[in-house]
Amino acid sequence: MAEKDRIEKKIRIMHTTDVHGALFSHDFIENGPARGALSRVYAFVCRERERYPDALVLLDGGDVLQGQPTAYYYNFVETQSPHLVADVMNHMRYDALCIGNHDLEMGHAVYDRFVSQCRFPVLAANLVDEHTGKPYFKPYTVLERQGVRIAVLGLITSAIPHWVPKDQWRGMAVQDMVDAASRWVAYIQEHERPDVLVGLFHSGWDGGIVTEAFSENVSCRIAHEVDGLDVICYGHDHQKHVEVVTNKVGRKVYCVGLWSLATSVSVIDVTLHYAEGRLTGKKIRARIQNVMYETDPAVYEFERKYADASALIASYVNQRIGCFERAIHSQDAYFGSSAFIDLIHDMQLKISGADVSFAAPLTFDTVIHKGDIYIRDMFHLYKYENMICVLALRGSEIKGILEMSYGLWTDRMQTPEDHIMKMAPLLDHGRRLGFVNLAFNFDSAAGIRYTVDVTRPEGERIQIESMSDGRPFHPDTVYQVVTNSYRAYGGGELFTRGAGLDHDELQRRILRISEKDIRYHFIEYIRRREHVRAEAMGHWRFVPEEWADEACRRDRAILFGNYESNDDETHCGKDC
């Protein structure tokens, strides 16, 4: 064969995921520098486009519409203008995006508007029209670079029905992600005959929540079980990971996952060899590029382009809504009744009129300082755009939820020297300890008085003494329970496995759900109150106290270092 009949082509695939509204180098929640930003990704991509002018593909793995106020403002406040996130991603010339669970959580009005404005396809092969069975979004797209056909298949975690209220994705059915991957890879191979097949997945590597109904994170499983994929770009679990998997027929699949908030970019180089017009071989390399310290002038060019939008967002989040007499700390919530979580309980109970409230610290370690309170502080208090849900639950089911919740974050103490928190070495080579489980599932309750006996085995720790007003609490009585929509639809399994309810029965227990998100209601609540003195209710405690108090001090030092709470009263401003 003549040498001229042999051709080598190179393409570069780049991938972001779980951006969560991190568009700019300013963090609108912290009111300071951001760790990651699409403006920095943009600068890196611009340089790479110069190196690969006709051979670069840019993809995103979803969860772009929730997180920073940049997204929230254009989701729910400024709804008549073009959506900022769509505008930014169009400017960056993204080639495809896979929808994420937090994107769907924003509701049809938000993501349908976003999708209509994107000049690139939004993918999700396993979200189908519930009547026709046809994909609601595009299932895949085929791109061409230097004559190389690149197919990109989008798939989202099958957990959607167990996390997101049906109204937010009404008209769709969610298919099993692994089954859908198998069907669509075969279809694409037969009908499109791509040179490179990329899986663009919003599902983590492995683990997460696994039930008979769904598995949260299946990218690893698909890499092993579904033949035909060359590359998997995945997200959702916010973990940096590069791995080459040898699949069930012995072929290699190159897999890359990323941290969140536009701090890094996947870079996958594919070299293809052709002979007489036929593909004869592929060589793939994958790596992760950190862009947190990107200082190219293109960063500032990007941010100047969107300066007006930034100013609007800043004006919104810097609106004063009230005054806190004292600081509140989320870390207090792990060690007893706390002002931070009890403020959420108090607001949920008063807004809903329910008997019992469930809530967890959604940010592992944050503080809202005493003094004037602004809309940006509400993103610290409540991280997600969940709705307020009220359900009917029996007293025994409430106890079951608490048993499971405290089993997630407390260990059994058999001597006074034992740990009270359930901890394990973190992923930073075991240099320090952290919680074994995710803190946003560490629910406490209010509206009742109870103790948690940490010397008892899991499932036998909770003793509910009474309702908070002194009325008796009965296992067989049905109470109105307020929580967030994630929990009410089965998120974290507390209200399913913990309460002993299957998913369908849990849905039947829902009495009402708010039209607007919890953060909106909290903002309005504080505006009406103006002057807020958040205090711990003191309605639950660990026992025996002679063991628990000292163990909490020890474990707090391990988890958070030295800690001093300064809750002195303060004057917050002229209107306080």
Within 8 A by CB and 6+ apart from 372, the residues are 320, 322, 323, 572, 573, 576
Cβ atoms 67, 54 nearer than 8 A:
no
Cα dihedral angle (262, 244, 120, 100), rounded to 10 degrees?
A: -60
Burial of residue 121 (CB within 10 Å: 0-12, 13-18, 19+) is buried
Cβ atoms 509, 393 nearer than 8 A:
yes
Q: Does residue 227 sit in helix, strand or coil?
A: coil
Q: Options 3.40.50.620, 3.40.50.300, 3.60.21.10, 3.40.50.720; which CATH number does 3-313 get?
A: 3.60.21.10
CA-to-CA distance for 248 and 122, rounded, in angstroms?
Answer: 30
Residue type, 341: I
Q: How many H helices and E strands in the chain? A: 16, 31
- Domain 319-560 is of which CATH architecture? Alpha-Beta Complex (3.90)
Domain span(s) for CATH 3.90.780.10 in the chain: 319-560
Cβ atoms 125, 98 nearer than 8 A:
no
DSSP string, 317-342: HT-EEEEESS-EEGGGGGSSS-HHHH
Do the bridges between strand 540-543 and strand 448-453 make them parallel or antiparallel, or are there none, so unpaired? parallel
- φ/ψ of 387, rounded to 5, equals -100, 165
CA-to-CA distance for 558 and 569, rounded, in angstroms?
Answer: 29
Give the pLDDT score at 563: 52
Residue 392, both tokens: 């009917």
CA-to-CA distance for 402 and 393, rounded, in angstroms?
Answer: 13
Cβ atoms 234, 286 nearer than 8 A:
no
CA-to-CA distance for 6 and 385, rounded, in angstroms?
Answer: 54
DSSP-derived secondary structure letter, 135:
B
- φ/ψ of 188, rounded to 5, equals -65, -40
Q: Does residue 291 sit in helix, strand or coil?
A: coil
Give the pLDDT score at 87: 98
Cβ atoms 224, 181 nearer than 8 A:
no
Within 8 A by CB and 6+ apart from 505, the residues are none
Residue of 338, 258, 294 whose CA lies nearest to 47:
294
Cα dihedral angle (124, 129, 132, 137), rounded to 10 degrees?
A: -40
CA-to-CA distance for 406 and 401, rounded, in angstroms?
Answer: 9
Q: Does residue 494 sit in helix, strand or coil?
A: helix
DSSP-derived secondary structure letter, 429:
T
Q: Does residue 111 sit in helix, strand or coil?
A: helix
Residue type, 496: T
* CA distance to 290, 513, 517, per residue, from 485 (Å): 35, 8, 9
Cβ atoms 202, 63 nearer than 8 A:
yes
Do the bridges between strand 328-329 and strand 367-368 make them parallel or antiparallel, or are there none, so unpaired? antiparallel
pTM, two decimal places: 0.93
Domain span(s) for CATH 3.60.21.10 in the chain: 3-313
Q: How far is CA 141 from the centre of its chain?
A: 26
Give the pLDDT score at 169: 97
Cβ atoms 178, 225 nearer than 8 A:
yes
Helices (H), 206-267: 219-225
Q: How far is CA 347 from the centre of its chain?
A: 23
Cβ atoms 539, 446 nearer than 8 A:
yes
Do the bridges between strand 56-60 and strand 367-368 make them parallel or antiparallel, or are there none, so unpaired? unpaired
Torsion 412-414-419-420 (CA) sign: positive
- φ/ψ of 130, rounded to 5, equals -70, -15
Cβ atoms 509, 502 nearer than 8 A:
no
CA-to-CA distance for 197 and 151, rounded, in angstroms?
Answer: 5
Residue 179, both tokens: 């089954």
CA-to-CA distance for 130 and 316, rounded, in angstroms?
Answer: 38
* CA distance to 125, 362, 422, per residue, from 61 (Å): 13, 23, 32
Per-residue pLDDT of the chain (576 residues; tens, 9 = 90+): 455 578 999 999 999 999 999 999 999 999 999 999 999 999 999 999 999 999 999 999 999 999 999 999 999 999 999 999 999 999 999 999 999 999 999 999 999 999 999 999 999 999 999 999 999 999 999 999 999 999 999 999 999 999 999 999 999 999 999 999 999 999 999 999 999 999 999 999 999 888 888 999 999 999 999 999 999 999 999 999 999 999 999 999 999 999 999 999 999 999 999 998 899 999 999 999 999 999 999 999 999 999 999 999 999 999 999 999 999 999 999 999 999 999 999 999 999 999 999 999 999 999 999 999 999 999 999 999 999 999 999 999 999 999 999 999 999 999 999 999 999 987 654 557 899 999 999 999 999 999 999 999 999 999 999 999 999 999 999 999 999 999 999 999 999 999 999 999 999 999 999 999 999 999 999 999 989 999 999 999 999 999 999 999 999 999 998 655 444 333 333 333
